[in-house]
Chain A
Amino acid sequence: MTLTSSIALLTVSAAALSFSGAALAQQKLIPAQSSIGFVTKQMGVPLEGYFKKFDGQISFDTAKPDTAKIAFSIDTGSATLGAPESDAELPKAAWFNVAKFPQASFQSSSVKSLGGGKYQVSGKLTIKGNSKDVEIPVALTQANGVTSASGQFAIKRLVFKIGEGEWADTSMVADDVQVKFKLAVSGMGKL
């Protein structure tokens, strides 16, 4: 074996090692480049909000998506609709009841590859102590070593008792809420 060919071999095996190492490692969410938002309607007027603070634990081997584990926790107190008077209401008991339920969570139960970078993530969404199984379509794209996971799904706010009492009136605030997310994740293997 010549010197150059052994160096080449070494380089290839080192690359292979680091590649599989990355694929097996826990992936990391980059919160600054991620967003979790929601849209509902108030008497037909779109109301858009988002959560300023959340974190996720992602273990996702692109070669074996069905072994993936995804868990998210979202600080309910960080919800904002962008208007001070409504933001003052969101933490109250009728809405997110932040004092009693400071976090909402998602825990995946299964991940299915649909091909073409698309996945179906099933799991349990818990808000205000109410849990419901949800199916979340996720599309993955990669650029510069960062994987972007985006998607949206619909929930019914009253299932989670978000907006109780006088606010339960769906002619005022619609029951349907679209949850939209775009998550930046580092350390994920190539798709």
Chain B
Amino acid sequence: MSSELQAKYRYHPLSIVLHWVLGIALVSIFCFGVYMADLPFSPSRLKLFNWHKWAGISILALSGLRLLWRVTHPAPPLPPAIEQAMPAWQLKVHHATHIALYALFFVVPLVGWAYTSAAGFPVVLFGQFPLPDLIGPDKALAALIKPWHQISAFGLALLVMLHIAAALKHQLIDRDGLLKRMSLRG
């Protein structure tokens, strides 16, 4: 397999930057969320919860930009040799995973935002900019929504792991150079 990948099979440089920035951000905020969830009540717990909300809203906004960019700048085709080497089910899973990833980029933060709105703690971005409540304060509804932020976040984490596992399979087992499509080093 050639070590050079033709430019037409590579993602747009901005897509590549958004991919890695958001990839790192998502892994970080996920670990952050798992860590803070069980902290005892304290100023640092409240501080971390606010930071988590600010980060989540920032990620949501960046994901919006990313989706817009993706819609206007479609993903490059798979290199033909790689596409032909992949069984049909892998191609299907490849597409489905990307669609599900994008869906969860929005579902996870929006459910979190809805939860904190319902719980009566509106998001004030960076402590400065009050954001509108997605739904009105309603404790019973908040209790119903709460588990779904966690469930959807773990779902996203599973998809990210699948995504990484597939990328590593292409890199280490197939050695087909697929990762170059997303490489920051051009």
CB of B43 within 8 A of chain A? yes
Q: Are B41 and A43 in contact (CB under 8 A)?
A: no
In the complex, chain A residues whose CB is within 8 Å of the CB of B124: 43-45
A133–B126 alpha-carbon span in the complex (Å): 35
Known contacts A86-B41, A89-B41, A172-B43, A43 near B127 by CB under 8 Å: yes
Chain B, interface size category, equals 10 to 19
In the complex, chain B residues whose CB is within 8 Å of the CB of A86: 41
Closest B residue to A86 using CB positions? B41
A110–B123 alpha-carbon span in the complex (Å): 42
- Taken residue by residue from 22 to 52, chain A's Cβ proximity to chain B (1 for < 8 Å, 0 otherwise) reads as 0000000000000000000011111010000
Closest A residue to B40 using CB positions? A85
Selected from A43, A48, A169, the residue in CB contact (under 8 A) with B50 is A43
Selected from B43, B122, B127, B128, the residue in CB contact (under 8 A) with A169 is B43
Selected from B47, B122, B126, B139, the residue in CB contact (under 8 A) with A82 is B139
Closest A residue to B139 using CB positions? A82
In the complex, chain B residues whose CB is within 8 Å of the CB of A167: 43
In the complex, chain A residues whose CB is within 8 Å of the CB of B87: none
Q: Are A166 and B130 in contact (CB under 8 A)?
A: no
CB of A1 within 8 A of chain B? no
Give min CB distance, B23 to chain A, whole Å.
28
Grouping DSSP codes into helix (H, G, I), strand (E, B) and loop, the B interface class, with mixed when no group exceeds half, is loop
CB of A88 within 8 A of chain B? yes
- Taken residue by residue from 25 to 55, chain B's Cβ proximity to chain A (1 for < 8 Å, 0 otherwise) reads as 0000000000000000111001100100000
A86–B41 alpha-carbon span in the complex (Å): 8
In the complex, chain A residues whose CB is within 8 Å of the CB of B121: 45
Q: Are A85 and B43 in contact (CB under 8 A)?
A: no
Q: 9 more A-B contacts (CB under 8 A) besides A45-B122, A82-B120?
A: A43-B47, A43-B124, A45-B50, A46-B122, A83-B119, A83-B120, A85-B41, A86-B41, A167-B43
Show 29 A/B contacts (Cβ-Cβ < 8 Å), sorted by A: A42-B46, A42-B50, A43-B46, A43-B47, A43-B124, A43-B127, A44-B124, A44-B127, A44-B128, A44-B130, A45-B50, A45-B121, A45-B122, A45-B123, A45-B124, A46-B122, A48-B120, A82-B120, A82-B139, A83-B119, A83-B120, A86-B41, A88-B41, A89-B41, A166-B42, A166-B43, A167-B43, A172-B46, A173-B43
